[in-house]
A and B are shown apart, each in its own frame.
Chain A
Amino acid sequence: MLQKRSLMKVIILGDSGVGKTSLMNQYVNKRFTNQYKATIGADFLTKEITVDDKQVTMQLWDTAGQERFQSLGVAFYRGADCCVLVYDVNSSKSFETLDSWRDEFLIQASPRDPENFPFVVLGNKIDVEENKRQVTQKRAMTWCQSKGNIPYFETSAKEAINVEQAFQTIAKNALQQQDTDDIYENDYPDPITIKPDSNPSYGCNC
């Protein structure tokens, strides 16, 4: 007996090399390797999860960090339920570009209610020694507050610190976003039926 599941689409953005692919793989496949290739274009992994007693398929879109690939956003961002902004706590530059990643996402995804669209910010690579750190937690949290209280997590994809917690929040916020959208859009057809599968299924790990 097939069971209907809903699907949520999550987009992971941030500068090149901040660990987007690693975070996604740590969450979906529970592993880390320093042998990921640079991502070209975009690809996704999916994971079956349960949020608030609802079974959901989470589709995580990993994107290339180089600026020229941002123009693909129109194709890949639309229909997103949550956007994850990732920076490297050891790189000020990767933090400072969060503004433009956020703006560009809102322009290209054109969500119905940009003011309340859910973002989550992840400060990654906290496993690196403390004296290399360039962005303080306070600075990051101040920025997140100024953008409408975006949830903030400090993570290490390498050591699996806070990754599960962060993605649980991402899932909850994405689901909430879907519920909000459903109020607007009752004319949506039912979600497409997906075969139940207890294992995470994935596209490409690169």
Chain B
Amino acid sequence: MNRVMEKKLSDEETIAEGFSVGEAVRRRDWKLLRKLSLRPGGFGKERFSAWLFLVNANGAIDDDPDDPKLPKHGEAGEEHDDDSDPEFMHPDEHQIRLDTNRSFVLYPSEEQRDRAELQSDLNDLITTVFRKHPRLNYFQGYHDIVTVIYLTLPEPHRLRVCEKLSLHRLRDAMGTGLEPVIAQLRILKLLLRLADKPFSELLESNTPLPYYALSNLLTLFSHDVPTLPLIQHIFDYLLCRPPIISVYLVAAITLVRKDEALILEEEGEDGMLHSLLSSLPYFSDERSTNISEDTSDAEVEGTDTILNNLSSTGCDEVTLENDSLLVTATNESTNQDTDANEGFTEKPALIQHSEDEQRQCINAEKLEVSLNDNEDLGDRIKVDERAASTSPGDSPPRAQRKTTYLPQILEQADELFTRYPPTHPDLHVSSILGPRSVVFTWSEIQDELLGDEEAEAIVSQPEFVVLAYRDPEETDRRKEHDRGESVSALKPPRKTPLHLGSRTLLLTGVAVAGVAVAVYSLKTRGGVRGRVDDLKKAGQWLTELLNTQIHPF
């Protein structure tokens, strides 16, 4: 069976010019790796070498296991089990312990009995990262990211990969506050407006910022993706692209749930949009045509079904659907014993084909043809919108439990990136994020990356990571409706003015021609840090930005 699979994989590699992941790494060919990351299963067995390369963690491992700063192994689940010198302890270690004690919930299921041991190892790994880089701050959800690293890479490489990933990709989120991820939400909102204006209006009427995406953006999807092979594939995809690609992937996932969102709106349940969109669709990493009809649920349509869907996504009820009857299996389904599809052998795809859905499938096929023919992307997007929208006269596309083909979503995120790159003027990326954000400091060229020390120092300069950006449309709407920033709770928000927290000080930061006045809200009391040299840096950054094309493809 494995040989058959290898043959199949190698056939698919012809798309990627006949090269394997290993060869792409040897050639330091990012473009090829990006193509290979789109294959079902991603990098598969060659993931290990690819990740080391992609996070620039190939160097020698020189950590001293007897370093007094590093945590000593202790009993699982106990606090203060570490006899390290308190001087070296990181202030976030208590929170880290609380979260690692709640880790390994979704996977790996076959090792449940060793859960406490895994948690203890994970805690040591994370604690070591923070003791080595004390200026980094821990955020809840970081432990989900490190769980994926832990389960993917062998022991001697985990620490280095976590350090590099933290310093050069996750750094924005490792300051003291949430401002950088809120900034990403702003960019996401603008991206959704570009990609699908009417849908974005529905979403914005529910919540002025797409808060539902917070967990996925913060944790690189690792908090909610239900199986290890799927999240590994998503990491394959993300790691060979610039850090901002997460925003595009969230946007693609949001757009694919448009039908479900419209049903909620139609049924007056738009208050549930937050729950719908903060959960993930059922992903599959094989192009399955398995059709399952859950006869017991066939009559139960509409919102209830979606709500059931929600409850089982990323939660401990994920196996509830296992009893469903598998009606049709095609030759594709014989591939289920590959590593990449692990987890889906247990959970067959649940698809109820409504007429609308079938129409969409046909449209989707047409779309693929048009992509392969290199037709204008604009046409493709237009067709996409038509396929996804439902006219009021149609019978609503109810009870959709469709499985979303992961590689297709990843390609859709790439298409969004190509069509609306971060340099697109309407995304305002350089007005929302500062010059020291990972979005601007990250590079696939090793020599252009910041040094580790320099990168760590940036977390104490938050005013150069996030700028104050006011969305003109948002401001107008607020004036019109005086609605504040609350997430819809199925009723209108209180008509009281927005009240800024007493801890929130608005501090003037940098002001550069062509860039909106940079204001950064700092939680701590601090002075205005608009020093002359910083201003110079910001000016230089702007020039660089104007001269640089951020384009991975």
The binding surface of chain A is classed by DSSP as: loop
Report which of A17, A42, A204 forms a contact with B311, defined as CB distance below 8 A: A204
Contacts beyond the supplied A43-B275, A68-B176, A75-B486: 4 A-B pairs with Cβ under 8 Å: A16-B95, A36-B105, A59-B490, A107-B499
Contacts of B338 in A (CB 8 A): none
Chain A, residue nearest B99 (CB): A38
Contacts of B339 in A (CB 8 A): none
B215 with A40: CB separation less than 8 A: yes
Q: Is A206 an interface residue (CB 8 A)?
A: yes
A108 to B315, CA, bound (A): 30
Chain B, residue nearest A61 (CB): B489
A203/B310 contact (C-beta < 8 A), A38-B140, A43-B278 known: yes
Interface residues in A, total, Cβ within 8 A = 54
B269 with A195: CB separation less than 8 A: yes
**Contact flags A12-40 to B (C-beta < 8 A → 1, else 0):** 00001100000000000000010111111
Contacts of A73 in B (CB 8 A): 501
Contacts of A189 in B (CB 8 A): 492
The binding surface of chain B is classed by DSSP as: loop
Report which of B99, B208, B278, B523 forms a contact with A204, defined as CB distance below 8 A: B278
A203 with B178: CB separation less than 8 A: no
Of residues 51 through 77 on chain A, the ones whose CB sits less than 8 Å from some CB of chain B are 57, 59, 64-66, 68-69, 71-77
Of residues 482 through 507 on chain B, the ones whose CB sits less than 8 Å from some CB of chain A are 484-487, 489-499, 501-502, 504
> Which residues of B line the A interface, CB within 8 A?
95, 98-99, 101-103, 105-106, 137, 139-141, 143-144, 176-179, 182, 207-209, 211, 214-215, 218-219, 223-224, 267-269, 271-272, 274-275, 278-279, 303-304, 307, 310-311, 313-317, 484-487, 489-499, 501-502, 504, 523
A204/B493 contact (C-beta < 8 A), A71-B501, A78-B484 known: no
Contacts of B310 in A (CB 8 A): 202-204
A78 to chain B, nearest CB (A): 4
Contacts of A199 in B (CB 8 A): 304
A194 to B268, CA, bound (A): 7
B307 with A74: CB separation less than 8 A: no
B206 to chain A, nearest CB (A): 12
B316 with A40: CB separation less than 8 A: no
A71/B178 contact (C-beta < 8 A), A78-B484, A78-B494, A188-B492 known: yes
Report which of B177, B267, B315 forms a contact with A68, defined as CB distance below 8 A: B177
Contacts of A66 in B (CB 8 A): 95, 139-140
A7 with B214: CB separation less than 8 A: no
B311 with A41: CB separation less than 8 A: no
Chain B, residue nearest A42 (CB): B211
A57 to B140, CA, bound (A): 30
B492 with A203: CB separation less than 8 A: no
